Amino acid sequence: MTDRKLSTVSKILGYQILLIIITAAIFAVAWGWQNALFSALGGAAAFIPNLYFSIRIFRSAGQPAQKIVKSFYAGESGKLLLTAALFMMIFQLPNIQIIPLLAGYVIALSVFWFALLMR
């Protein structure tokens, strides 16, 4: 992978962290720390699997095409399983606040919608 691609992935992950922090801060100020915590957990449920996928793909750099494709599919499968596992753990917490949780998750994922605009 080139430095530019690494830079783009790093930017996306960095923007995800930034948006998770901003969203949690807004929830903390407006609706209290418990809502901020669930917002941050929702963001983490999006960020952690994306980080895993990124690491998995970068490890396959320079490999033959067939290995890269296998790594991609394995990384995506792992990402989906990790997301499900994180949500299962989050849903075990008492007094779960679903709106902040989903808001944090969707806002962290929204970075991909705007990734094409980043140059």
Chunk the chain into consecutive blocks of 10 residues (it has 119) and report each block's average pLDDT, rounded to whole numbers. Answer: 66 94 98 98 98 91 89 94 98 97 97 77
User: Which two three-digit tokens encode residue 95?
Assistant: 């007094």
Q: What integer pLDDT is reported at residue 84 of this predicted model? A: 98
Give the list of residues 6+ apart from residue 15 with CB closer than 8 angstroms, or none.
Answer: 111
- Number of Cβ atoms within 10 Å of the Cβ of 54: 17
Contact between residue 82 and residue 55 where contact means Cβ atoms under 8 Å apart? no
Give how many domains the chain has, as a whole number: 1
C-alpha neighbours within 13 Å on the C-beta side of residue 96: 12
Q: What integer pLDDT is reported at residue 61 of this predicted model? A: 84
User: Which two three-digit tokens encode residue 35?
Assistant: 């809502």
* Domain boundaries, position 56: 3-117
Give the ranges where the chain is alpha helix by DSSP (H).
Answer: 3-31, 33-59, 65-90, 98-114
What's 92's DSSP letter?
Answer: T
- Number of Cβ atoms within 10 Å of the Cβ of 92: 8
Sign of the dihedral defined by the CA atoms of residues 24, 89, 87, 97, in that order: negative
Q: What integer pLDDT is reported at residue 119 of this predicted model? A: 58
